[in-house]
Chain A
Amino acid sequence: MPHSDAPPLRFGDDPLLWAAWLYYQDGLTQAEIATRMGVSRPSVNSYLADARTRGIVSIEIDPERFRALSIAKAMQDHFGLDDCLVIPSGGTGSPLIDRLGAAGAQVLSRLARSGDTIAVTWGRTMLSLANRIGRGGLQDLRVVQATGGTTAKIPWTPEACATRLAEALGARSIPISAPAIVSSPDMRALLMREPVVAEQMAILAQANRIVLGISSLRPESTIHSSGFFDGPGMQGQYHAAVGSIAGRLIAARGEPVDGPLEGRTIGVDLAALKTVPCRIGVAGGMDKVQAILAALRGGYVNVMVTDADTARAILTAEGHEDGPARPVAAAPAALPERVRIKKFLNRPQDAVNETVEGALLAHQGLLAPITGAPRALRAVDGARPGKVGLVIGGGSGHEPGFFGYLGRGLADAVAIGNVFAAPPPDPILAATLAADGGAGVLHIFGNFSGDVMNFETAAEMATARGIRVRTVVTTDDIASAPVDARAARRGVAGNVFVFKIAGAACDRMLPLETCAALALRANARCHTMGIALEPGASLESGKPSFRLGPDDMEIGVGVHGERGIARARLTTADEATDLIVDRILDEMRPAEGDRVALLVNSLGATPQMELYILNRRLRQRLRARGVGVHRTLIGHYYTSLDMAGVSITALHLDDELTALLDHPCSAPAWTQGGRP
């Protein structure tokens, strides 16, 4: 390359740009640049500084890492830590425990000095750390078990963690030759007098560094598999405990929790632990937030290693808010938020009863009251002898759910709760009695704890009166829990299809077990997901039930104004449809040529026009996948008061479900003819 003190043409005559290029892009030293440019080294230095202040060079840190850095700083300030390392959360690659172990190993390597006595607790994270630390060439290290041992059949016992760490560091390993928990305080006293144990405990007392894991007391945590809590009634003694360090329990604010185990535990106690000058805590995971927070509040840790999501949750729990990294230019003023929504109401507390009254009048030929039960309705053409009765129900606010699905070929009776609240057992029982035709009654409702409890009680009451009841709980909302936790999912707009399939089965005089099995199959093949643009507003206060920024949308919302699983920037109709369709197709895995029924449902305030726009993209996507559409329902079928938003349901059809779907029905919200 020819040497010249004239800048190459592409830099024009800008020495700042040239110097910056050579430094940042070509990686030359300032001295080399000085030679290349034919200027002095201090000139190069000032060129580079100018290049940054004038914005020719901007230094960018990977946003994920930047976020981790700023969270670590906030953690350090908030809890007065000596240091804190926050690793980016999640993403692809290795599990959190592995990455925390590696980060902990890095921190320990950095802090450890020759001559240290390092105590170590046990657990998955500790073993992971020990497996990842490299020999740093330090001398005269000792690694000491922080507690006695356990015989639990786990790989991460205190013995294993200490031995492995000592090996890796080339340190002398000092075990504690006694169990962590002994049978009685007397036995502990006896063991502590044993010369071997006493000597080991003396070394433990000399530890100048401790590496510790933090265990939550949630059912899945290490503490339960380690044998520490074995023994009848042991957990009852520790109701205030939220976390554990070295086998000692701590409460929410970090105070030690005293109990019968305390006098039987051999190992470092919490008071002694706090006198160790360097206390490195390594822990992460959402289930541990409360435990880690307690450890930080209690001051048991002064160097913390965790991941960004955990740290963020800990700070959130402390009321700390993520601020922008630096002040940004003021955004143009947003339009005023809707603070109070206008509604047609008399007294809010009368709204449900007045709705029922109006519905009865509007649908005279279809709906009828049930004597003595103001919050239960029956279908005029409903129960008949020998037919399985179908009872549906749930909270109000979903209109035309649920009474809109009463009628021939659909449900026979409905129980109506307060707004977004499950109906109590009495109206459910009244509906069950009204629907009974002597062949048993099927209860179908969405999976919410209140509905489950109240329907369960009503079913027991009906059984006591000699009515056979089968229950199908709908779980079609794919956003509300992962696929392996299907039973935990909410039941939302897919209800409409499940009611239809079950109602047709009942109308065909099929037996109770068959009707229930078909309803279960429809539920299993129903996939729903929703997106909200504006929250619904409470009848009582007229206020939105949660806040959604002017450019945000909430993904995976339910039908009670509750928040969804994630918030995202508002996108186009097509992109919003894709968000939903991607998830539905992922789970449904239709084969080419399969057929579905669709429900494009307004959550309340979204007009029909937008539903058609969404439906257009929905059909493009299904056509591209080779999926046929047998029937489309589009409109207000299952709402959430006046929430603006949509839910899309796809029912994956087979021949039997198709026939039942096509069965005629006559109800306020769904009427279709056909061959009975």
Chain B
Amino acid sequence: MTTPMQTFSRHDLTDLFRSLAERMAAEQSYLAELDGEIGDADHGVAMAGGFGAAARALFDADGGGQTLAQGLSLAASTLLNAVGATTGPLYASALLRAGQALGDEDRVPFDRLPGVVIAMAEGIAARGHGRPGDKTMVDAWSPAAHAARAGLAAGMAPAQILRQAAHAALEGAQATRAMMAARGRAARLGPRSIGHLDPGAVSAAALLDCLASWAEGQGRAP
């Protein structure tokens, strides 16, 4: 008897977003504190509020026969309208790309998940025109996407790839401390932005860590 191939379903999407929302709520005050140093201190509220609203919307629509693409599109528009700001459009673009990557099915093989990281990174780069080294969330997403590509090329297991991506994102977020902001509100601080972590990169690393943990938990589940 073979074990059934593990899949990622629309219901799993709801569960994943619940985890992401919980994680962002837990990080809210830390992110606000980081953003207070070089921004306007709203990043914690934006991330917690945005992912919280998206998680609720996904929960409410769960069981309604949505495809993964429809679910992620709902998450994108809910997050955008709950948040606005810079975070809203950037993560909305990321989630729309993730939806395109997963397509019009209500479940896909689990090994499609690393592709979501790559799609989200592309969505963010396309919307914000940011480059690595600008001291933005791109400094976490871009290394994560590279790690995901490398993991896929090496034929690693999905959860392992996601862990590797999360690790790369964390390293990237840490590296923003030495960067001078070239984009976003902190750019107006110029050299004074050096020495501070970028809150957008830190929250991205937390999201990716949460995604990896969620995937690892799925692997262990009976």
A-side residues, CB < 8 A to B, are 217-219, 239-240, 242, 252, 286-287, 289-290, 293, 309, 313-314, 316-317, 319, 349, 395, 417-426, 448-450, 453-454, 457, 480-481, 488, 490, 538, 540-541, 543-546, 558, 560-563, 565
Q: Which of A420, A561, A565 has the most CB of B within 10 A?
A: A420
Write the nearest CB–CB distance from A486 to chain B, whole angstroms.
13
The reply to whether A418 and B42 contact each other, CB–CB distance below 8 Å, is: yes
Residues of B contacting A488 with CB < 8 Å?
Answer: 187-188
- Which of the residues B32, B127, B177, B185 comes within 8 Å of A453, measured between beta carbons? B127
Given A286-B190, A454-B89, A420 and B84 touching (CB < 8 A)? Answer: no
Residues of A contacting B41 with CB < 8 Å?
Answer: 420, 538, 545, 561
The reply to whether A450 and B89 contact each other, CB–CB distance below 8 Å, is: yes
The reply to whether A540 and B185 contact each other, CB–CB distance below 8 Å, is: no
- Which of the residues A313, A425, A538 comes within 8 Å of B32, measured between beta carbons? A538
Given A239-B146, A240-B143, A454-B89, A317 and B178 touching (CB < 8 A)? Answer: yes
The reply to whether A240 and B133 contact each other, CB–CB distance below 8 Å, is: no
Given A289-B194, A481-B188, A546-B37, A419 and B32 touching (CB < 8 A)? Answer: no
Interchain CA distance A317-B186 in the complex, whole Å: 16
The reply to whether B188 and A424 contact each other, CB–CB distance below 8 Å, is: no
Total interface residues on B, CB under 8 Å, equals 53
- Taking CB atoms and an 8 Å cut-off, the chain B residues in 26-45 that contact chain A are 28-29, 32, 36-42, 44-45
Residues of B contacting A309 with CB < 8 Å?
Answer: 191
Given A317-B178, A565-B190, A545 and B36 touching (CB < 8 A)? Answer: yes
The reply to whether B32 and A240 contact each other, CB–CB distance below 8 Å, is: no
Residues of A contacting B219 with CB < 8 Å?
Answer: none
The reply to whether A421 and B37 contact each other, CB–CB distance below 8 Å, is: no
The reply to whether B175 and A423 contact each other, CB–CB distance below 8 Å, is: no
| Further pairs besides A286-B180, A453-B127: 16, Cβ < 8 Å | A239-B146, A317-B194, A421-B46, A421-B88, A424-B80, A424-B82, A424-B84, A454-B89, A540-B44, A541-B32, A546-B36, A560-B40, A561-B40, A562-B38, A565-B189, A565-B192
Residues of B contacting A313 with CB < 8 Å?
Answer: 180, 191, 194-195
Interchain CA distance A290-B49 in the complex, whole Å: 33
Interchain CA distance A545-B37 in the complex, whole Å: 7
Write the nearest CB–CB distance from B106 to chain A, whole angstroms.
27
Q: Which of A317, A450, A457, A565 has the most CB of B within 10 A?
A: A450
Given A313-B194, A448-B185, A449-B184, A454 and B84 touching (CB < 8 A)? Answer: yes
The reply to whether A541 and B29 contact each other, CB–CB distance below 8 Å, is: yes
Q: Which of B39, B83, B194 has the most CB of A within 10 A?
A: B194
Residues of B contacting A541 with CB < 8 Å?
Answer: 29, 32
1/0 per position for B79-102, CB-CB distance to A under 8 A? 011111111111000000000000
The reply to whether A421 and B84 contact each other, CB–CB distance below 8 Å, is: yes
Residues of B contacting A418 with CB < 8 Å?
Answer: 42, 45-46, 49, 83-85
Interchain CA distance A457-B171 in the complex, whole Å: 33
Residues of B contacting A562 with CB < 8 Å?
Answer: 38-40, 185-186, 188-189
Residues of A contacting B128 with CB < 8 Å?
Answer: 449, 453
Residues of A contacting B179 with CB < 8 Å?
Answer: 289-290
Write the nearest CB–CB distance from A281 to chain B, whole angstroms.
16
Interchain CA distance A313-B69 in the complex, whole Å: 45
The reply to whether B83 and A239 contact each other, CB–CB distance below 8 Å, is: no
The reply to whether B42 and A421 contact each other, CB–CB distance below 8 Å, is: yes
1/0 per position for B3-44, CB-CB distance to A under 8 A? 000000000000000000000000011001000111111101
Write the nearest CB–CB distance from B83 to chain A, whole angstroms.
7
Least CB separation from B84: chain A residue: A424
Residues of A contacting B83 with CB < 8 Å?
Answer: 418, 421, 424
Write the nearest CB–CB distance from A529 to chain B, whole angstroms.
13
Residues of A contacting B32 with CB < 8 Å?
Answer: 538, 540-541
Given A290-B178, A538-B41, A240 and B146 touching (CB < 8 A)? Answer: yes
Residues of A contacting B46 with CB < 8 Å?
Answer: 418, 421
Interchain CA distance A453-B41 in the complex, whole Å: 19
The reply to whether A425 and B80 contact each other, CB–CB distance below 8 Å, is: yes
B103 within 8 A of A: no
B132 within 8 A of A: yes
- Taking CB atoms and an 8 Å cut-off, the chain B residues in 141-158 that contact chain A are 142-143, 146
Write the nearest CB–CB distance from B136 to chain A, whole angstroms.
9
- Which of the residues A217, A316, A417, A563 comes within 8 Å of B84, measured between beta carbons? A417
B56 within 8 A of A: no
Q: Which of B37, B44, B189, B195 has the most CB of A within 10 A?
A: B195
Interchain CA distance A464-B40 in the complex, whole Å: 33
> Can you list 17 A-B pairs, Cβ within 8 angstroms, ordered by A?
A240-B146, A252-B171, A286-B194, A289-B179, A395-B42, A421-B88, A424-B81, A424-B84, A488-B188, A541-B29, A545-B41, A558-B40, A560-B42, A560-B185, A561-B41, A563-B189, A565-B189
Write the nearest CB–CB distance from B65 to chain A, whole angstroms.
25
B183 within 8 A of A: yes
Residues of B contacting A538 with CB < 8 Å?
Answer: 32, 36, 41
Least CB separation from A421: chain B residue: B85
Residues of A contacting B42 with CB < 8 Å?
Answer: 395, 418-421, 560
Residues of B contacting A252 with CB < 8 Å?
Answer: 171, 174-175, 178
- Which of the residues B45, B81, B182 comes within 8 Å of A540, measured between beta carbons? B45
The reply to whether B190 and A561 contact each other, CB–CB distance below 8 Å, is: no
Residues of B contacting A540 with CB < 8 Å?
Answer: 28-29, 32, 44-45
Residues of B contacting A239 with CB < 8 Å?
Answer: 132, 142-143, 146
Given A418-B85, A450-B84, A317 and B188 touching (CB < 8 A)? Answer: no
The reply to whether B36 and A561 contact each other, CB–CB distance below 8 Å, is: yes
Residues of A contacting B131 with CB < 8 Å?
Answer: 219
The reply to whether B180 and A289 contact each other, CB–CB distance below 8 Å, is: yes
Interchain CA distance A538-B29 in the complex, whole Å: 11
